[in-house]
Structure 1
Amino acid sequence: MKWAIGSILSWKNKTIPEKIYHIHGTNDKILYSKIAKPDFVIENGTHFMVYQNAEEISGIINKLLL
């Protein structure tokens, strides 16, 4: 797990595909990153924000699909 997290956080991707959106929580203790540039920030969102903030995330996704 330590290797996986380190690899994700230090990944140097040069290609950003179209229509990819980054939703990040401010309290994510698993994939925290001070250098992240998310498209959407979920205030107090944790790594489990998909469950804890489902309504807010669903709203973002629904707007993107329109």
Structure 2
Amino acid sequence: MNDGDDQAVRIELARLRQEHRDLDAAIDALTKLGNSDSLQIQRLKKRKLALKDRIGFLEDQVVPDIIA
């Protein structure tokens, strides 16, 4: 991976991490309301999980697993 690709991946990682934090805050806020839409919360949690998987994939791209 060259420096340009590496920088692009790091920018994408930062964006995805921010979106993940935003979803976490939204889920917490909806949950605290008590009378919130459970389907909406389920969709947000599913999106959050997909983001986590994508973040993990990109982190592996930036920091390759080194076998000692």
- Return the structure number with greater helix share: 2
TM-score, normalised to structure 1, is 0.31
Rg comparison, structure with higher value: 2
Higher RCO structure, 1 or 2 (CA under 8 Å, sep 6+): 2
